[in-house]
Chains A and B, each alone.
Chain A
Amino acid sequence: MTMTIWQGVITIVAVVIGTMLTRFLPFIVFPESKQPPRIVEYLGAVLPYAMTGLLVVYALRNTPITTGSHGVPELAACAVLVALHCWKRNMLLSIAGGTIVYMLLVQLVF
């Protein structure tokens, strides 16, 4: 560790403030007491769908397509998960199935 303890603490506090600003800002700009503009309500209604999509891409962003395993474990695990979920619609089962397939593939095959 190159910093003193206090420099470390200040760095962390700066990160905390930055992170909290991104979480609280929408709620500060559009407080409970006031009706937010119509377009903000519209965005609030459509964004959850888009953000879930973004999170899927985000979670898979480091998948190696051109090197190493070529993303085969990820693809196989996602395929198993989608199939399981369309079949049983059980969230825990689908997650467990996909994760187990992925772990087996990265530990035993690739």
Chain B
Amino acid sequence: MVTGQSPIDQSGRTLTGNPVPDSPTHAADRRIVADTYAIPNAPSTADGGRSTVHQSHSVCWAALKAAFPLTIPICLGFLFLGASYGILMGTKGFSFIWPMCMSAFIFAGSMEFVTVNLLLSAFNPVAAFLLALMVNARHLFYGLSMLKSFKGLGWKRPYLIFGMCDETFAINSTAKIPQDIDRGWFYWWVTACNQSYWVVGATVGGLIGSHLPFNTDGLEFVLTALFLVIFLDQWLSNAHREHLAAMIGVLSSLACLVIFGADDFMIPSMAVMLVAFIVLRPHLDILKPNTESAANDDAVSSSDNNEIKNEKETKA
């Protein structure tokens, strides 16, 4: 833990007044308390031209310690789902190389399962491309949500965008990153941990086939539980307008699920959501100045973290 608590951050500001994070597991539940724009302007390694190798090592290490506990449920879910995917490919006659490469390069769970069927039907890359666009259309909204958060992260940014699967987005868009943790490295570790779980799971599944040692029926629920917990955290830690935004998401997708069925409801839901947000903009657009995000904006521009610190203290 010592490495994570360097009293001086990369830009030389003293952070002595900062609450020191306790054990990672313990801190996890508080950190995930969701508010997208509560992410403080954490020091970035990019601006520390004079930072030594040792310092950047400890910055990187501290971020891993903050990020890892949040990925534990995903570890469980991804090893299991990845393995089922590898096993599925194995039973269809593919060597483990296929699930290994597909999980590393496609890295979008549901699309990989769809691709297994594509590989078993007639050769049609254009249809495969269009299907990938439709199945993954929700990523467009993830991107819009993270435009601001991924700003100024330099070489890490392309990988963060590449690896933004549902679970990684859910963590990165809602995690309350402590002030003394580097934002870029935090995102990077969440993304890298999650991807490695998935690739390892898929590869191992492809290698061992269907000889799992214990009954894993129902384990896939761990990812449902993750989304529900993040949703709850957002709900419990926010006020009326955020609730309205969350309800728009739930109701529009529920309605579209009933109308269009489980396989085709994603794109209609996104369309309904978009319309609802545009129509309700007069009600919802004051969301920003009214919450911490406004304080965050100011802090970003003036390089002064005091406001956020105060916000955090009042919240805690």
Contact = CB atoms under 8 A, between A and B. Distances in A.
B interface, how many residues as a size bin? 35 or more
B227 A56 contact: yes
A53 B231 contact: yes
A95 B215 contact: no
Contacts of B37: 45
A105 interface: yes
B230 interface: yes
A89 B94 CA distance: 43
Nearest to A7: B123
B304 interface: no
Nearest to B248: A50
B3 to A, nearest CB: 23
Decide if the interface of chain B is mainly helix, strand, loop or mixed.
helix
B314 to A, nearest CB: 18
A30 B73 contact: no
Decide if the interface of chain A is mainly helix, strand, loop or mixed.
helix
B127 to A, nearest CB: 9
Interface residues of A, number: 75
Contacts of B192: none
A54 B217 contact: no
Contact of B106 (A12, A44, A61): A12
A19 B218 CA distance: 28
Nearest to B127: A14
A24 B146 CA distance: 11
Contacts of A16: 105-106, 132
B61 to A, nearest CB: 22
A64 to B, nearest CB: 10
Contacts of A49: 36, 234, 238, 242, 245-246, 249
Top 6 A-B pairs ranked by shortest CB distance?
A18-B132, A26-B143, A50-B249, A53-B249, A103-B218, A53-B250
